[in-house]
Amino acid sequence: MMDIVNENLKKSLEILNQNLKNKLYKIEGLSRESIRRNLINYGRLINLKKLSMDEMKPFKPAACVDGSVNRYGGSHPHYIDLFQGLSKISGENKKSHFKSSLFSPILNSISDEEEEDLRNRLLAKIEVDVAIDTLEMENVKVILMDGNLIRYSIRSSKEYETLKESCEDKNVLLAGFIKEAKSDSLFTLLFPKVTDFSLYDKDLLYGVLDVGEGFILHDDFNKKIDQDISSMIFRTSNYPGVAGLEILKSQRDYLIDIANMCYSLTPIMSRGVPMIIDMVDKEVKLDDKLTTELINSYVDRDVLERFFVSERSLRKY
């Protein structure tokens, strides 16, 4: 396969690799030891704990929430977006709650430029909606969203406020597990003189934290506090990458407890994601095969070919 790749492309990749290495090399204080020393000027390093079965009881049952979207069709506006939200309850029965919806610009006037924002808002909304349904139907102690809470507060603010207030009223902990911490706030703090290059927190802290170690930024430096969010970064497995965790500011006393719960639910030989999140992520996904089967079963063929089947998909070669 490599034999048919253009030599110019190979050379371009080699140059990209070297340029990135040069950028990192030029940043003074980017060693693991230097970063760890610098971190404690802006927050605190903590050691997490693997909880026993008895110590996990206060957090059971917990509900994990995720959503997915898959697109059928061609370019704007000739497509259908199918959305699905899932909440799975921990415990022996692993009860599930689903919500679904769809959107097509064919029936709704929306510009090409607006479609990505709307898609993100509809996905956030269905995830929050299924979390609200779970609160109403189940007696859970924790709701763990697959993603940061700030995303919901921005993209589905009305529903998020309802979820937030319900959790606070019922003493249910609301948290968000962030697989990839894409803020660059730590790099800005640690390297204020570097203006031509930046690293996301996940890239900066790659291999920096020990297994079972977390970092909590002091409130004076944490912009999320203004958004009623308390947060931390932590490493939960042998994989050298880090994840993020957010919790409501009103529930911040339980931040480390939820981090311990996530750490306890994560296999040491994994990429650092709690098992329940992986389970929900896999189950909620609408893959291309299932999406096509659903649409072919419930949408007439002449409607599909008129509106949603592109010329490219009809090619025989």
311 confidence band (pLDDT: 50, 70, 90)? low
For the segment 133-174, what is each residue's pLDDT rounded down to a tens digit?
A: 999 999 999 999 999 999 999 999 999 999 999 999 999 999
Query: Quick one: which H or E segment has residue 159?
Result: helix 157-169
For the segment 236-286, what is each residue's pLDDT rounded down to a tens digit?
A: 999 999 999 999 999 999 999 999 999 999 999 999 999 999 999 999 999
**1 or 82: which leads in pLDDT:** 82
Residues 6+ away with beta carbon under 8 Å from 29: 35, 38, 190, 191
317 confidence band (pLDDT: 50, 70, 90)? very low
**Are 259 and 245 within 8 A, CB to CB?**
yes
Residue 9's pLDDT is 87
Residue ranges per structural domain of the chain: 30-314
28 confidence band (pLDDT: 50, 70, 90)? confident
Give the position of tokens 């896999």.
Answer: 282
Please tell me whether the overall predicted TM-score, pTM, comes out greater than 0.85 for this model: yes
Residue 312's pLDDT is 54
For the segment 76-119, what is each residue's pLDDT rounded down to a tens digit?
A: 889 999 999 999 998 776 799 999 999 999 887 787 778 889 99
Nearest residue to 169 via CA among 250, 253, 90, 230 = 250
Q: May I ask the CATH architecture of the domain 30-314?
A: 2-Layer Sandwich (3.30)
